[in-house]
A and B are shown apart, each in its own frame.
Chain A
Amino acid sequence: KNQVEQSPQSLIILEGKNCTLQCNYTVSPFSNLRWYKQDTGRGPVSLTIMTFSENTKSNGRYTATLDADTKQSSLHITASQLSDSASYICVVSPYSGAGSYQLTFGKGTKLSVIP
């Protein structure tokens, strides 16, 4: 069964500090992995996408890494801001020759950045 596990479940950090969120998956065959950010009471918004051949992808202060061999990904947030407080969801897409409709979602990491 395809699964995506994220850790930690929740995290509290001081404004200005860095943090790293983890994602392990068992989806196979694998097409791509996305990190979404979900603000409280809002829908998720895509931050990064990586295919199996990519190791790292940046979006401003967000840097995602991928190790397709160990099936692990991380999202590193640099110099955190209060607006980074949100849930971060790891989403893995299986490869399907007919088109990948369904995604496998992690349960998310809830990040709180405090002043």
Chain B
Amino acid sequence: DVKVTQSSRYLVKRTGEKVFLECVQDMDHENMFWYRQDPGLGLRLIYFSYDVKMKEKGDIPEGYSVSREKKERFSLILESASTNQTSMYLCASSLRRTSGLYNEQFFGPGTRLTVL
């Protein structure tokens, strides 16, 4: 079974702090994604990566950066946390194939981040 793990389930930080959210997948997936999920807005893509050291902006990259130094690990960084970044953060991974049937994204359990 694919397993995607996230470093914390719950996190409380103060405004201005630098925050690291870590995600690890154990199925040798090429693609990894970071989403945030807010009530009434659904999942929104922050960044994704299709290879080591590669990254692409999603729909809402402002205020975030990412790092992918190893294939299995994808980190989301909040350089200076703000209260509007309080949210549920979900990491996902998928295989890279030309057929869309193989692009199922497997999600981690999520990190609920509160910025005070």
A95 within 8 A of B: yes
Judging by beta carbons under 8 Å apart, are A99 and B42 in contact?
A: no
Q: Which of A89, A98, A100, A106 has the most CB of B within 10 A?
A: A100
A41 contact from B45, B100, B110, Cβ within 8 A? B110
Judging by beta carbons under 8 Å apart, are B104 and A34 in contact?
A: yes
B33 to chain A minimum Cβ distance, whole angstroms, is 8
Interface band, chain B: 20 to 34
A32 within 8 A of B: yes
Chain A residue with the shortest CB-CB distance to B38: A107
Main secondary structure, interface of A, reads loop
B116 to chain A minimum Cβ distance, whole angstroms, is 20
Chain A residues with CB below 8 A from B43, complex form = 44, 89, 105
Judging by beta carbons under 8 Å apart, are A98 and B98 in contact?
A: yes
Chain B residue with the shortest CB-CB distance to A6: B42
Number of A residues, CB within 8 Å of B: 26
Chain A residues with CB below 8 A from B48, complex form = 101-102
A51 within 8 A of B: yes
Q: List the interface of chain B (C-beta within 8 A of A).
A: 4, 9, 31, 40-43, 45, 48, 50, 56, 58, 90, 92, 94, 96-98, 100-101, 103-110, 112
**What are 29 A-to-B residue pairs whose CB atoms are below 8 Å?**
A31-B101, A31-B103, A32-B100, A32-B101, A32-B103, A34-B104, A41-B109, A41-B110, A41-B112, A43-B92, A43-B108, A45-B107, A49-B101, A49-B104, A89-B42, A93-B100, A99-B96, A99-B97, A99-B98, A101-B31, A101-B103, A102-B45, A102-B48, A102-B58, A103-B103, A105-B43, A106-B42, A107-B40, A107-B41
9 A-B pairs with least C-beta separation: A31-B100, A43-B107, A107-B42, A105-B43, A100-B100, A100-B103, A93-B100, A32-B100, A44-B107
